[in-house]
């Protein structure tokens, strides 16, 4: 069912006017390349996996909720197994921080059957043990102003490019279904939790978080969680000390659900 929803949405998007060409990925290898992007970091998970996250406050990292679970067992990663490495590149980070607390969206269910709500609520906030106060690492503001045709970009880590972040400065919002954006951005495993930036009024803000990758009619796309409602609900859950700690079954093979999207 979800496959049909997204295919219909994609077909509607592609039926419109001609779209600008997406930019390719650019690896941010040097300090100069990475300037202004130091608040994006690699999220180390149990020494065996990683995701991407970004600071939205000196002590708060925004990422995808499914990053907090082991793909192999379905169990929650212990907080002691998670480390945020801000500006990680070529074996070094600009700052290393352990995680004190993790808050997931109250409606998120890891291992649930693939559906739009599952992607929409795939958000988590990680509170660091100590804030990162560094003049070269400036947390990003967030915004809910993201529309079809918006100028967006993504900074992420991924398999095959895990040693330095890569910037795709131009990709596209192809459409939206409920609280999920269909994006043309180039993402892969490890990109989960990556910030989707919108460039408006000479400022850069986080407008979405990468939650899944999809293949629709043979075309690779990214799915991003919208922030307009879900982020407010996430902050409310954090204020209420609401943290999901359910024991869940291992993640099923999502390629067998008919949805044809997976967590990157």
CATH code, domain with 20: 2.40.10.10
Structural domain boundaries, residue 52: 2-262
The band of 247, judged by pLDDT with boundaries at 50, 70 and 90, is very low
Report DSSP state, residue 38.
T
Determine the average pLDDT of the residues in 210-227.
89
pLDDT over 50 (residue 188): yes
Of these ranges, 15-19, 82-86, 141-145, 256-260, the one predicted with the greatest mean pLDDT is 82-86
pLDDT of 246:
32
Distance CA(30)–CA(115), nearest Å, equals: 39
Q: Which position has the higher pLDDT, 241 or 109?
A: 109
pLDDT at 157 over 80: yes
Q: Which two tokens stand for residue 135?
A: 């003049």
- The distance from CA 71 to its chain's CA centroid, rounded to whole angstroms, is 16
Residue 3, pLDDT score? 39
Domain count, the chain: 1
CA distance 110 to 67: 10
- The residue to which tokens 């044809």 are assigned: 260
How far is residue 223's CA from residue 241's CA, in Å, rounded to a whole number? 28
What pLDDT is recorded for position 215? 81
Q: Is 102 exposed, middle or buried (0-12, 13-18, 19+ CB in 10 A)?
A: buried
**Nearest alpha-carbon partner for 71 in 252, 259, 214:** 252
Q: What is the pLDDT of residues 57-85, one digit of tens each?
A: 999 999 999 999 998 888 999 999 999 99
Reply yes or no on whether the pLDDT at 237 is more than 50.
yes
Please state, in angstroms and as integers, the Cα–Cα distance from residue 6 to each residue in 2, 166, 180, 221, 252, following that order.
6, 27, 10, 11, 20
Structure confidence at residue 263 (pLDDT): 74
Lowest mean pLDDT among 28-42, 133-147, 240-254: 240-254
| pLDDT score of 108 more than 80 | yes
Mean pLDDT of the chain: 84
């Amino acid at each position: 069912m979800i496959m049909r929803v997204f295919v219909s949405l994609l077909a509607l998007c592609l039926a419109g006017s001609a779209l600008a060409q997406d930019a390719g990925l650019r690896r941010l290898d040097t300090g100069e390349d990475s300037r202004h992007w130091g608040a994006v970091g690699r999220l180390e998970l149990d020494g065996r996996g990683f995701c991407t996250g970004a600071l939205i406050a000196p002590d708060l990292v925004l990422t995808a909720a499914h990053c907090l679970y082991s793909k192999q067992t379905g169990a929650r990663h212990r907080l002691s197994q998670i480390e945020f490495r801000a500006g990680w590149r070529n074996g070094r980070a600009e700052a290393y921080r352990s995680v004190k607390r993790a808050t997931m969206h109250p409606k998120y269910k890891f291992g649930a059957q693939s559906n739009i709500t599952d992607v929409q609520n795939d958000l988590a906030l990680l509170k660091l043990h100590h804030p990162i106060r560094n003049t070269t690492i400036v947390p990003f503001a967030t915004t809910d102003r993201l529309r079809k045709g918006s100028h967006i970009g993504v900074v992420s880590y991924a398999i095959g490019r895990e040693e330095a972040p890569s910037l795709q400065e131009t990709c596209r919002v192809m459409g939206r279904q409920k609280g999920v954006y269909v994006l043309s951005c180039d993402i892969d495993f490890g990109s989960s939790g990556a910030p989707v930036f919108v460039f408006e009024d000479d400022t850069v803000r986080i407008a979405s978080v990468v939650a899944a990758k999809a293949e629709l009619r043979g075309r690779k796309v990214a799915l991003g969680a919208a922030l307009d409602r879900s982020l407010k609900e996430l902050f409310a859950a954090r204020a209420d000390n609401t943290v999901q700690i359910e024991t869940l079954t291992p993640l099923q093979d999502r390629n067998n659900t008919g949805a044809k999207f997976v967590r990157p």
